[in-house]
Amino acid sequence: MPTSGAEPTRVRSPQALGRAIRTARSRAGLTQAELAERARANRYAIVQLEAGHETRAIEILFDTLAALDLEFAVRPRAN
């Protein structure tokens, strides 16, 4: 994950999204279980997300972005 002021991480696939989430989680010092609790999800969902597994919703998201020649970017929230 970029630090504040750095270029955002471009995400063009579920696998890249998973890597970005795993990197951010690690930098935050969180376990998958802790992230799942904060995200109101279960640990399995976080494992699947970090592994880049496609759900239908994620597949639709990336297909839609590609069809519109757009990309997803991950960066820390502005305060």
pLDDT confidence of 77, banded at 50, 70, 90? confident
DSSP secondary structure, 6-27, as one string:
SPPEEE-SHHHHHHHHHHHHHH
pLDDT at residue 5 in the model: 58
Q: Please check whether residue 53 is in contact with residue 46, taking contact to mean a CB–CB distance below 8 angstroms.
A: no
Higher pLDDT, 4 or 15: 15
Q: Kindly list the structural domains of the chain, giving each domain's residue range(s) and its CATH number in brackets, ordered by start.
A: 9-74 (1.10.260.40)
| Count of positions (residues) in the chain | 79
Determine the average pLDDT of the residues in 53-70.
Answer: 93
- Kindly tell me the burial class for residue 35, based on how many C-beta atoms sit within 10 Å of its own C-beta (0-12, 13-18, 19 or more): buried
Average pLDDT over residues 10-39: 96
| pLDDT of 3 over the 50 cut | no
